[in-house]
Structure 1
Amino acid sequence: MERIRFFLEHVNHVRFVRYLLFLFLGLFLFAVLYDQAKPHQYELRLFDIATETIRSPITIEDKETTERLKKEAADKVTDIYTLKKEYAENRVDLISSLFTTIVEIQNEIKEEKKEPTKMMDALKERLPQEWFSYLSADEWEKLLHAAPEDIETAKEAAVTAVHSIMAERITQSELEKARAKVQDELKYVMLSPSLKEIVVKLTKQAIIPNVIYDRTATEEKRRQAMDEVKPVKILQGQVIVEEGQFITNEIYHQLQLVGLLQNDRSFQPLIGLFLFVLLLLSPVVYYFGREQANKNLFVYTAIFTIMLLVMKLVRLIPESDVFSTGYLVPVAFGTMLVRIFIGERIAIMTSILYAICGSLMFNEGMGVNGTIQVSLAIYLVTSGLAGSFFLHKQLRRAKIWQAGVFVAFINMVVMLALTLLKNGHYSLTEIGMFLLMAFASGIFSAILTIGLLPVFEACFGILSSMKLIELSNPNHPLLRKILTEAPGTYHHSIMVANLAEAACEAIGANGLLARVACYYHDIGKTKRPQYFIENQIGGNPHDHLSPQLSKNIILAHVSDGVAILKKHRMPKEIVDIAEQHHGTTLLKYFYHKALEQTGYVLEEEFRYPGPKPQTKEAAIISIADSVEAAVRSLSNPSQEEIGKIVRSIIAERLQDNQLNECDITLKELEMVARSLCETLNGVFHSRIEYPEIRKEKVKHA
């Protein structure tokens, strides 16, 4: 224990050690959570037989399968053709104009009295060249020489047939079938067989496909079909392969996709864990990075490490399908220790960190890596906060058991609430098991806190608030020793404690430490109590001693007190304050007395050996000690006299360089002066003088 404390004292202010502690916390947290973040992988090959049922640890989209299904849906969409009604009108106009042209040519020949042989030449000039491939030259001649009434009949029949046939959808593949209908349409036309055959041929050529491929509509239809395909997802907890099932290509692809094959090394979870650890430790680094000493960080690192190790041990307990062993974790003991040794703010923050870590470590055996149990996180953070809050104003060792019971009660309430919120059909036995686990967590927290409290105090030399409160008990052997052997010193110590505590709290120093240290700072006077004025009744023994001998007796009470405190293994902070509360101040009364008797003495011989105050608490106690003695020597001091004495003593300490080795500022000294004046004015306030009762009235009464 002594070696540990010796080591801590030497590295307490080494900044590099602080970085090493932060690094250790990060690496340790990473190692603890590594099993949860590392994907559980299997050594499987195609067409192997699965030796166990494998579930997906994550929810992920199978993009390859999704794209394949989309392509299949798009391929199933048939091409879209659009009906062009204007095609029928165009072809009707075309066939009508053909016969109209023939009639016009016949009329021109008659009017101009040209040779009938010129009719063919005129027709070639007016009709597209492709039409002449539909009929032979004789057939064209026969059509040109047909009677006008036959031409008109042929025209009407052809127009009717084209209009009727092209009113329906005609694709390229259906063209011949549509043209075959012309024969039926013209079957009853009153024309000669030869002329009817010519009209049939021309009408067939007038029939063309009236639907065309609509590229835009087709692509839109395919896009809609692809959009209707839902993404193929492998859900978290979904069974990928059953025990004894063959590993098909599809199953192998799914195992590879979720990262469960050993040949698929993914570092993404580890990178995520690294970033997560940085995020978790950032408030810890911020909190302790502002402190000058490393002692609290050492303590916090030890508590945090033990808490995570306890979680790991509890994790080894087999889980059931109904409950998680995470509810057994005594998380409150970690926050209670942090609350006792460091402070409330960091305890609240730590309870949140414990809850996050615990919810990651315990995941109900679902095999889901890296997930957080919300219900367990709520349970753990509530349990941790309950332990911290209950100790807020009850920092006594005897109260830890009560804190454990309180935490157990809160755990049971939270557990019951979470169980009912899940709307699960749990039996009374299962609910009773849940409540028993919650109760055990609180009791175990109290047991671990009580068990580890003295270990931390001994190893790290910690003076906790709980330890200070125990030392302030009037039944403590040393305080009873002062009370019985030096009652005046005891009263003086109580007064100085009141002054120092108020002054320390005014500047943000440790008021409780100052109060308790004041109780013991003059313990050395119990060795020769009658030589100190507050314990003298009926005479001063220094009147019969030389100044040098009196000086030695007075100065010795510091070293005597340090020896007594060390003998009783008192905390180092209290021993240091007892040793420093006089600093190297001058024992003025005996110095001047010796100077009057001998004419020359060394001032250093009449100074306390020191050291000078090293902390704000020691400096304030040094000032309060002198102020209390000086004010007590006055019969009825006024507020002005008290203020003058307080500021003169502070000025004297500054001029004598007694405050050079502590970090107290002039602004803080002014606040200390005001606090001391307020406290002393409250003690020495003016009282009502009651009129003296005449003796005569007393006699008559």
Structure 2
Amino acid sequence: MFVFVVLSLSSGLGYRFYNQPKLDVDKIAPQTLTAPSSANVEDVKTTEERRREARSGASAVWVDDPVINEQIHQNLQQLFTKGNQIRENLDNFPFVKTSVLSTATQTYLRQAPEPQWQQVLRGLDKNSNLTGLNSAQQLAVKKLRTYRESNSSQAFAQLLKAIAQARQRYNISLKALSAMSKDNTQSVYAQPETLYDATFLNLSDTDWQKTQIQVRQTLDRMLAQGIYPGLSKTNLNSAIGMQVSVSVPETAQPLARRLLSDAIAPNLIKDIEQTKLIAEQAAEAVEPAIVSIQKGEVTVKAGAKITQADFVLLDHFHLSQRGIDWLHLIRFSGMVGLAVAIFKLVERRIYAKLRPSDYLLILLLTLSAPLLIFLTKSFTGLPAIGLLVGSFYGTAIGGTVMVLLTILLSMGTELSWHYLVPSAAGGILGGLMAGQWRFPGREALRTREELATLGILIGLTQGVVYLLVNTAIAPLWYAVLGAAVLNGLAGLVWSILALGLSPYLEALFDLVTPIRLAELSNPNRPLLKRLADEAPGTFQHTLFVATLAEAAARALNCNVELVRAGVLYHDIGKMHDPLGFIENQMGGINKHDVINDPWKSAELIKKHVSEGLVMARQHKLPSAIQAFIPEHQGTILIAYFYQQAQQQQQNTEKVLHESDFRYDGPIPQSKETGIAILADACEAALRSLKDATPEAALAMVNKILKARWQDNQLVDSGLTRAEMSQIAHIFVQVWQQFHHQRIAYPKL
């Protein structure tokens, strides 16, 4: 079997070695070869590489985003609104005509500290000396004296009042700016400098209005030119400074730079469709790489290294000496043998009992991958293979098969890794997720809807991995986005195909999957409905046995779904004669009292096993389910009728053989059927207990389990003594749940 599997896999997975050229690229030519005829041959490999480079090197198309532009304008308008709110407290500036006081003098008088302002007021006295004042103060005093001399005292008083009001409003605005600066400093978003500072208060209303207009126009120009994402702050500020210097009043330029720097942001986005179009146009514009040669010209000289162009010509003229590469094929066969050995190691490690038909199915599914690659050059079917193997044989087998198959495909086929890696990712995910029920404590995927959801996840994984793998080559990820979507859809299609094939493979190869077991456990199945109708007592007995066995199977990390389904069908044979079993007599006449022959009664009791197998085969139940029918009784003794036979044998000459009163077996061959025989033995005893204590119930269960152990019914099941003790405690716990105490209701 090992040799057959290795040869089959080597021949299927290693087909690339069947037609390998001896004179390949980078090899040394053993002799000089000439062209037998003139030819112009396309170098497909070089052409494809150049087109791939053209796609990846295509420049991205950037367009401005209207939404971002609108947001930037809104940000700038908010900054202007804040500035206008600050200037509301200033009133108009200049606050008097410039013919009375110059703008510079008004600026000084409005912002001069209070001591300096008092010095100016004292300087208005005709006898005061101006030598202690600075130049700005002296100029202000002279201007004020001149105005006083040429105007009435009332007009002069009005002027001083206007100056005082302007100073008051200025100080209020200055305090507001200081408070704003303090808040900015304490904020998480604090900036090195306040956007609006004292110089902003000294702008005239005209300059402020002009600044707003020019800043808006500057912003429009810069947005029209476009701001690229990733543009450094230094370069952006430099561009802002150049724009501001030619349009904004000099006194307002620092403020304009700060406003634009705060409001502006990158507004260009990539136009994916246009970029893809340009990339494809660039690829299409690449001329095919043509290698030309004339008849009689030297294709390659002896001793020279064969280049790609040389190989194209050699292969065209059938001079590359293609044939079976035995050396590499033998090496590949060794790798296949190692992979098979690893598979067997994993199988033994997890105690999987695979049948020859299971090996055949895994082999066929594995060989379908290279067949698809050979036919399609791009599709592998790995998602479907992973999902099927995982759901049939569990996570360990599914994951191992997919990882080993991926490695062998990369070595034995010529499929590009751009296609292999995404498909392998989907296949490995399917193998691991579909078979998660093999992990202790993990529930199975019980419905095909859950597997369909897994198919969607496989498709997404395959698409994303394809995008990541190909983005590593083409920086313009959106150039391969369409192919990634198609690859994801392909993964989904493979999953759908696997779901469609699953029921047929289950029936053809006699497989039990969690989903099939869940379907068989449905009480509306025809056979179970017949059991409930024709043998209701047996059906109730079956339900309680299933509850006991399922709890034990879950605690021992066995196949819970198999135990539940197997126990539900273990007594279907009792339908051949329901009244022959006491649970169906409902207090009526005992049929065996009428028979009054323990040998015939024993035959009738034993017949429920053989008849059960006949019914199971008629309804095409899986062999794993059929195994519960004989193995749940093993070869145990039908003690009641055996004792009757012993009593009657004393009065007759009839020979008593113990084998006549034992079931035909076989004894349980797995932990699952071993649990079933124990649960079946304990069910009647536990059901009969009413007011017993848990200790008494445990003692009784241990006695029954001990009897089965000493009768050698469990030697082939794999159950240990420690597990037997654990099973006893679980049975008692389930019994307590069914027979919990209830309050006594008063009589009406």
| TM interval, short-chain normalised | 0.5 to 0.7
In the TM superposition, 1:120-139 aligns within 5 A as: none
Query: 1:283 is matched with which residue?
Result: 342
1:483 Cα offset (Å): 1.6
Query: 1:655 is matched with which residue?
Result: 710
In the TM superposition, 1:165-314 aligns within 5 A as: 242-244=291-293, 246-247=297-298, 253-255=304-306, 262=320, 269-270=328-329, 273-274=332-333, 276-278=335-337, 280-288=339-347, 295-296=354-355, 298-314=357-373
Query: 2:459 is matched with which residue?
Result: 408
Distance 1:586 1:283, change over 3 A: closer
**342-351 vs 44-53, which deviates more?**
44-53
Matched, 1:386 2:429: yes
Task: Say if 2:16 and 2:414, in contact at 8 Å, map to a contact too.
Answer: no
Task: Say if 2:638 and 2:661, in contact at 8 Å, map to a contact too.
Answer: yes
Instruction: Please point out which of 383, 402, 410 is paired with 1:332.
Output: 383
Secondary structure of residue in 2 paired with 1:52? strand
Query: 2:663 is matched with which residue?
Result: 608
Task: Say if 1:499 and 1:679, in contact at 8 Å, map to a contact too.
Answer: yes
1:627 Cα offset (Å): 0.4
Query: 1:215 is matched with which residue?
Result: none
Query: 1:517 is matched with which residue?
Result: 566
Query: 1:630 is matched with which residue?
Result: 685
User: Per-residue CA shift, 1:53-79, capped at 9, x if unaligned?
Assistant: 56999xxxxxxxxxxxxxxxxxxxxxx
Query: 2:617 is matched with which residue?
Result: 566
Secondary structure of residue in 1 paired with 2:305? helix
Query: 1:445 is matched with which residue?
Result: 495
Secondary structure of residue in 2 paired with 1:537? coil
Matched, 1:618 2:670: no
Secondary structure of residue in 2 paired with 1:569? coil
Task: Say if 1:485 and 1:526, in contact at 8 Å, map to a contact too.
Answer: yes
1:284 Cα offset (Å): 1.8
User: Per-residue CA shift, 1:289-317, capped at 9, x if unaligned?
Assistant: 66888735653453344344344334433
User: Per-residue CA shift, 1:362-413, capped at 9, x if unaligned?
Assistant: 757xxxxxxx72x434312321133235534324345444443332233233
1:645 Cα offset (Å): 1.6
Letter in 2 for 1:631: L
Query: 1:687 is matched with which residue?
Result: 741
Query: 1:590 is matched with which residue?
Result: 641
Secondary structure of residue in 2 paired with 1:462? coil
User: Per-residue CA shift, 1:174-198, capped at 9, x if unaligned?
Assistant: xxxxxxxxxxxxxxxxxxxxxxxxx
Letter in 2 for 1:406: L
Distance 1:555 1:286, change over 3 A: closer
Task: Say if 2:32 and 2:299, in contact at 8 Å, map to a contact too.
Answer: no
1:419 Cα offset (Å): 4.5
In the TM superposition, 1:65-214 aligns within 5 A as: none
Separation in 2 of the partners of 1:515 and 1:532? 22
Separation in 1 of the partners of 2:686 and 2:594? 27
1:445 Cα offset (Å): 3.4
Secondary structure of residue in 2 paired with 1:608? coil
Letter in 1 for 2:641: F
Separation in 2 of the partners of 1:552 and 1:269? 65
Separation in 1 of the partners of 2:660 and 2:299? 96
Query: 1:556 is matched with which residue?
Result: 607
1:424 Cα offset (Å): 5.0
1:288 Cα offset (Å): 3.5
Separation in 1 of the partners of 2:556 and 2:383? 32
1:335 Cα offset (Å): 0.8
Task: Say if 1:642 and 1:681, in contact at 8 Å, map to a contact too.
Answer: no
Query: 2:14 is matched with which residue?
Result: 31
1:485 Cα offset (Å): 1.9
- Structure 1, unaligned runs of 5 or more: 1-16, 58-238, 318-324, 365-371, 696-701
Query: 1:20 is matched with which residue?
Result: 3
**Structure with larger Rg:** 1
Secondary structure of residue in 1 paired with 2:293? coil
1:250 Cα offset (Å): 5.9
Letter in 1 for 2:543: I
Instruction: Please point out which of 521, 530, 537 is paired with 1:488.
Output: 537
Letter in 2 for 1:32: Y
**598-607 vs 345-354, which deviates more?**
598-607
Query: 1:63 is matched with which residue?
Result: none
User: Per-residue CA shift, 1:325-383, capped at 9, x if unaligned?
Assistant: 53x3321111111112211012122232343344456757xxxxxxx72x434312321
Query: 1:527 is matched with which residue?
Result: 576
Distance 1:304 1:404, change over 3 A: farther
Separation in 1 of the partners of 2:747 and 2:526? 48
Distance 1:670 1:575, change over 3 A: same
Query: 1:350 is matched with which residue?
Result: 401
- Structure 2, unaligned runs of 5 or more: 47-287, 437-443
Task: Say if 2:6 and 2:333, in contact at 8 Å, map to a contact too.
Answer: no
Separation in 2 of the partners of 1:53 and 1:552? 83
Task: Say if 2:542 and 2:567, in contact at 8 Å, map to a contact too.
Answer: yes
**37-46 vs 504-513, which deviates more?**
37-46
Distance 1:464 1:24, change over 3 A: farther
Distance 1:36 1:289, change over 3 A: farther
Separation in 2 of the partners of 1:607 and 1:285? 38
1:272 Cα offset (Å): 5.5
TM-score normalized by the length of structure 2: 0.56
Secondary structure of residue in 1 paired with 2:697? helix
Distance 1:689 1:280, change over 3 A: same
Instruction: Please point out which of 486, 490, 496 is paired with 1:436.
Output: 486
Separation in 2 of the partners of 1:272 and 1:558? 53
**572-581 vs 604-613, which deviates more?**
604-613
Separation in 2 of the partners of 1:476 and 1:338? 27
Separation in 1 of the partners of 2:496 and 2:449? 11
1:496 Cα offset (Å): 1.0
1:517 Cα offset (Å): 1.0
Matched, 1:464 2:513: yes
Task: Say if 2:572 and 2:612, in contact at 8 Å, map to a contact too.
Answer: yes
1:564 Cα offset (Å): 1.4
Separation in 1 of the partners of 2:665 and 2:300? 84
TM-score normalized by the length of structure 1: 0.59
Query: 1:376 is matched with which residue?
Result: 419
Secondary structure of residue in 2 paired with 1:347? helix
Separation in 2 of the partners of 1:502 and 1:36? 58
Distance 1:279 1:490, change over 3 A: same
Query: 1:669 is matched with which residue?
Result: 724
Task: Say if 2:7 and 2:333, in contact at 8 Å, map to a contact too.
Answer: no
Secondary structure of residue in 1 paired with 2:636? coil
Separation in 2 of the partners of 1:638 and 1:481? 37
Separation in 2 of the partners of 1:614 and 1:636? 36
Distance 1:270 1:307, change over 3 A: closer
Letter in 1 for 2:728: A
Task: Say if 1:461 and 1:572, in contact at 8 Å, map to a contact too.
Answer: yes
Separation in 2 of the partners of 1:35 and 1:668? 54
Task: Say if 1:32 and 1:308, in contact at 8 Å, map to a contact too.
Answer: no
1:280 Cα offset (Å): 4.4
1:448 Cα offset (Å): 4.0
Task: Say if 1:521 and 1:577, in contact at 8 Å, map to a contact too.
Answer: yes
Instruction: Please point out which of 613, 616, 626 is paired with 1:575.
Output: 626
1:515 Cα offset (Å): 1.6
Distance 1:434 1:539, change over 3 A: same
